[in-house]
């Protein structure tokens, strides 16, 4: 299954889908600030090449599946196209048909065959306390596999790792004050166990689908994107929310919202953490661009390494 006959090729002979046709359609008609637009025109050939050699394995630890569900909300390309035509998603606990040992055998077989090439996506934190027993992700040969075991083994073999969501990047809510599980993000686990595979952090509670798809495609086609001090692509996390907020003018004019349902005004007195938060939500917005936290209520700083402790209480000014 090397070179001529790659894994996605073999699998796609039966579906009769032409990737080239799809990719042309997907990248040619992007509207707004769709992901595909950013990578035009080199995307088509690059993605085709990447698809053949870079399967994606998606594993889940201490999380809520919210980042996976958020990925399903991808608009451009749609999730159906992502699943069938853009990436070769060989393992995803919430989506894949298989279960049990069949699923795990495939996971480890793909990781071995595409060693140094596949992309590992990690969703959820990795608990280190109690030898990792706070998160059991499967069992092979009558032996339990902890999230820690799986992250270490696959992390060392992967070509690159994408930590998706604030749990996988910085520990997030499972790592908040009061936790006893030793919940830890991928980067810190790698540091602790000497794993050198590059990690791209895509925080957010949940991550925005564009951030996930965009980073994945960037990684597959161009390599590592430029990252900030917290390992986040500047492409998505380079701008301060408050400084770019549509309510900034109101802030400058001293128009401040007094209660959550005020349609007008800057939310700073209500506890908005926009001033300490870096992400492009203010222009990208959520769910097909329909709304975002600040217009609806307040920003709680969910993309920041200190979330949630650094930004709580959420409804009191910092």
Partner 1 sequence: MAGCTPQTAPVGAGTKIKVAIDPVTRIEGHLKVEVEVKNGVVSDARVFGGMYRGFEQILVGRDPRDASQITQRICGVCPTAHATASVLALDDAFKVKLTDNGRITRNLIFGANYLQSHILHFYHLAALDYVNGPDTAPFIPRYAKNDVRVPKDINDVAVGQYLEALEMRKICHEMVALFGGKMPHVPGLVVGGASEIPTQEKLVAYAERFKKVKKFVMEKYVPLVYLLAGPYGDLLKTGGGYKNCVSWGVFPMDDKGNTLQKRGVFTDGKDYPVDTALIKEYVKYSFFDDATTGLNPREGKTVPNPNKAGAYSFIKAPRYNGKPHEAGPLARMWVTNPELSKIGQEKLGVKKMREIGDAAFSILGRHVARAEETVMVANAVEQWLSEVKPGKDTYVPVPVPDSAEGLGLTEAPRGALLHYVNIKDKKIANYQVTSATIWNANPMDDMGQKGPMEKALIGVPVPDAANPVNVGRLIRSFDP
> Which residues ranging from 97 to 156 are in contact with partner 1 (CB under 8 A)?
97-104, 106, 125, 127, 130, 133-144
| Among 111-119, 210-218, 237-245, 300-308, the segment contacting partner 1 (CB under 8 A) | 300-308
CB of 196 to partner 1, least distance (A): 27
Helix 186-193, helix 147-157: angle, nearest 10 = 80
Burial label for 131, CB within 10 Å (0-12, 13-18, 19+), is exposed
Give the torsion sign (CA, 182, 226, 301, 92): negative
Nearer to partner 1, 52 or 225 (CB): 52
CB of 135 to partner 1, least distance (A): 5
Contact 136, 171 (CB under 8 A): no
From 92, 135, 208, 266, active-site residue: 266
x-or-dash pattern for partner 1, window 20-59, by CB under 8 A?
A: -----------------------------------x----
Interstrand relation of 89-91 and 56-60 (parallel, antiparallel or unpaired): parallel
Nearer to partner 1, 45 or 291 (CB): 291
| Among 21-29, 45-53, 166-174, 247-255, the segment contacting partner 1 (CB under 8 A) | 166-174
Distance in angstroms (rounded) separating the CA atoms of residues 119 and 54 = 6
Residue from 19, 54, 92, 157 in contact with partner 1 (CB under 8 A): 92
Nearer to partner 1, 106 or 225 (CB): 106
Q: Does residue number 196 form part of the binding site for partner 1 (CB under 8 A)?
A: no
Examine the residue annotation and report whether 64 is marked as an active-site residue of this protein: yes
Burial label for 53, CB within 10 Å (0-12, 13-18, 19+), is middle
Q: Write down the residue that tokens 């090729």 correspond to.
A: 9
Strand order in the sheet with 119-123: 89-91, 56-60, 119-123, 160-164, 199-202
Residue from 88, 119, 169, 277 in contact with partner 1 (CB under 8 A): 88
CB of 280 to partner 1, least distance (A): 14
CB of 300 to partner 1, least distance (A): 6
x-or-dash pattern for partner 1, window 58-77, by CB under 8 A?
A: --xxxxxxxxxxx-xx-x--
Peptide bond preceding 308 in cis form (omega within 30 of 0):
yes
Contact 280, 210 (CB under 8 A): no
Residue from 38, 83, 235, 256 in contact with partner 1 (CB under 8 A): 83
Give the torsion sign (CA, 19, 2, 217, 145): positive
Q: Does residue number 246 form part of the binding site for partner 1 (CB under 8 A)?
A: no
Phi, psi of 58 (to 5 degrees): -115, 115
Examine the residue annotation and report whether 135 is marked as an active-site residue of this protein: no
The partner residues of 201 in beta bridges, in order of sequence, read 163
Q: Which residues contact 272 (CB under 8 A, 6 or more apart)?
A: 242, 266, 294, 298, 299
Total site size for partner 1, rule CB under 8 A: 94
Q: Does residue number 287 form part of the binding site for partner 1 (CB under 8 A)?
A: yes
x-or-dash pattern for partner 1, window 254-283, by CB under 8 A?
A: -----xxx-x--------------------
Residue from 126, 154, 163, 173 in contact with partner 1 (CB under 8 A): 173
Burial label for 316, CB within 10 Å (0-12, 13-18, 19+), is exposed
Residues designated as active site: 64, 67, 167, 205, 242, 245, 266, 272, 281, 293, 299, 302
């Amino acid at each position: 299954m090397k070179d001529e006959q790659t894994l996605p090729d073999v699998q796609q002979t039966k579906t009769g889908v032409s990737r080239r046709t799809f990719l042309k359609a997907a990248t040619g008609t992007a509207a707004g600030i769709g992901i595909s637009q950013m990578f035009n025109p080199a995307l088509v050939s690059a993605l085709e090449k990447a698809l053949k050699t870079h399967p994606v394995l998606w594993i889940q630890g201490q999380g809520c599946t919210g980042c996976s569900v958020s990925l399903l909300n991808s608009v451009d390309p749609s999730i159906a196209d992502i699943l069938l035509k853009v990436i070769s998603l060989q393992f995803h606990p919430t989506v894949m048909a298989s279960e049990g040992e069949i699923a795990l055998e495939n996971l480890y077989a793909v990781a071995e065959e595409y060693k140094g090439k596949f992309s590992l996506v990690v969703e959820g934190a990795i608990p280190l306390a109690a030898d990792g027993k706070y998160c059991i992700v499967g069992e092979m040969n009558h032996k339990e596999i902890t999230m820690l075991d799986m992250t270490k083994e696959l992390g060392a073999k992967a070509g690159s790792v994408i930590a998706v969501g604030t749990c996988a990047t910085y520990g997030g809510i499972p790592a908040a004050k009061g936790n006893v599980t030793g919940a830890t993000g991928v980067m810190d686990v790698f540091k602790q166990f000497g794993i050198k595979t590059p990690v791209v952090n895509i925080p957010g509670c949940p991550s925005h689908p564009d951030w996930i798809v965009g980073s994945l495609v960037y990684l597959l086609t161009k390599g590592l994107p430029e990252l900030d001090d917290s390992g986040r692509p500047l492409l998505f996390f380079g701008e301060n929310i408050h400084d770019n907020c549509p309510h900034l003018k109101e802030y400058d004019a001293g128009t401040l919202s007094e209660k959550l349902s005020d349609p007008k005004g800057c939310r700073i007195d209500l506890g908005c953490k926009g001033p300490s938060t870096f992400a492009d939500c203010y222009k990208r917005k959520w769910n097909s661009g329909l709304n975002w936290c600040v217009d609806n209520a307040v920003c709680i700083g969910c993309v920041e390494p200190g979330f949630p402790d650094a930004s709580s209480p959420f409804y009191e000014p910092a």
